[in-house]
Structure 1
Amino acid sequence: MAMSKLLQLYQYNIINKPIRTFALQSSCMMTLGDILSQQVIEKRGRENHDVQRSLRMTVYGALVGGPVIGTWFGFIHRLIQIRHTWAATLVRVGVDQVFFSPTILAIFMTGISILEGRSMADIKQKLEKSYVKGLMTSYQFWPFVNLFTFALIPMHYRPLVNSTAGICWNSYLSHLNQTSLQTSAEPVTHTTTATTTTIQ
């Protein structure tokens, strides 16, 4: 009963207040992804957890990741109108991977760098060092997630399923971002800025 009411509340908000709902769910999932990255992948421990890094993930998810990805799901659903479910799914996944995945990864790496206070030279260096690697890894993960999502999940729940699946992806992105500018000239951790991480 409680789960049913929760789903009804979510459905009401995703229909009537979609951008706010996208922002809230993405910020939560991206923050969780960064926490897992720091504690499970990097094994920092609670004492060494970079809170500012997690907060940057929260801000990015709320202001950029959630609204952009949620809006994209609605757009691609309206754009591709094919009656056969699997044909529509394959076309949507193809369009998503060709156009959206490369774009959102670049937006993420640039956006997080801006929140870190990085210079344009740093951002360019980060993209040169890590963008292709991140995109190739994306192609090993998101097509399979989106095949399931586009084929079997009702439209209103797709951003939620995407964000949930993205917890693991966000953990990877956070770790990728953390290591992308570890150069001898400029350590990743600063007194005024620190690093972090989907979306896709």
Structure 2
Amino acid sequence: WLDSLSVPLRAYARANDRRPHATQVASAVVIYFAGDLGAHERAADEADEAGEGEGGARWWYSPRRALRAAAVGAVAAVPAYRWFLWLGGGALDVFPAGRAAGRAANLAAKVLVNQAVFTPVFNCYFFGMQGALAGDGPAEVLDRLRRTVPASWANSWKVWPAVTAVSFAFVPPQLRSVFAGVIAVGWQTYLSLLNQRAALAEK
């Protein structure tokens, strides 16, 4: 089964080599769409548990919201891809890489910079764009950021430092987006669910 798994991975790597930006945009659309669908299913389960699911029109699946999620992912795909290419380069390798301690320190620097810079900026973009595309005004967008960004950034420490470390330590550069994409489906489900809760709280 490993051979059968390697076939699509090699095909993806070749596509990414030929047209990296187009490949990243297409991948992001799939990931964000799947994340929105997962968030809808989770929200429906929560509504059922709370006794609100039966006839609960507010939990009805929204293709418009799914398209918004896909658009948010498409716009972010190339900047995120370029960021991780830069992060995976040698710009932050300030310690000697010939020793294990130096490699570990360089890896820790990449993880910390990613968490301190990319994650909060991306989360502000994600929730802000979701609100703006839904027709929210500036005050409503700021309120949504206040409701979502601190919690999402705090929870990101439970997931992304380990993912980033494993990716840079063990995954070939051309397959890092695939590896992160698998995790990102679950993470986008969480972000989309958090966004849906914030949108309901605004009403």
Contact 2:9 2:175 in 1 (8 A): no
Q: Name the amino acid aligned to 2:200.
A: Q
SS of the counterpart of 1:42?
helix
Structure with a larger share of its residues in helix: 2
Deviation at 1:87, TM superposition (A): 3.0
Deviation at 1:156, TM superposition (A): 1.4
Partner Cα distance (1:42, 1:171) in 2: 13
Runs of 4+ in 1 over 4 A off after TM superposition: none
Q: TM-score, normalised by structure 2?
A: 0.81
Contact 1:73 1:158 in 2 (8 A): no
Q: Alignment identity in percent?
A: 23
In 2 relative to 1, CA 141–7 (structure 1 residues): closer, same or farther, beyond 3 Å? closer
Which residue of 146, 160, 175 maps to 2:178?
A: 160
SS of the counterpart of 1:80?
coil
Q: TM-score, normalised by structure 1?
A: 0.83
Please list every run of 5 or more consecutive structure 1 residues that lacks an aligned counterpart in the other structure.
188-200
Which residue of 53, 73, 96 maps to 2:84?
A: 73
Q: Name the amino acid aligned to 1:58.
A: A
Please list every run of 5 or more consecutive structure 2 residues that lacks an aligned counterpart in the other structure.
48-52, 54-58
| Count of residues paired in the alignment | 183
Deviation at 1:130, TM superposition (A): 2.0
Contact 1:85 1:151 in 2 (8 A): no
Please name the residue that 1:192 is paired with. none
Contact 1:69 1:159 in 2 (8 A): no
What aligned pairs does 1:40-189 form with structure 2 within 5 A after superposition?
40-43=42-45, 48-64=60-76, 66-78=77-89, 79-81=91-93, 83=97, 84-183=102-201, 187=203
Larger mean Cα displacement after TM superposition, 104-113 or 47-56: 47-56
Deviation at 1:178, TM superposition (A): 0.7
Please name the residue that 2:50 is paired with. none
Q: Name the amino acid aligned to 2:82.
A: T
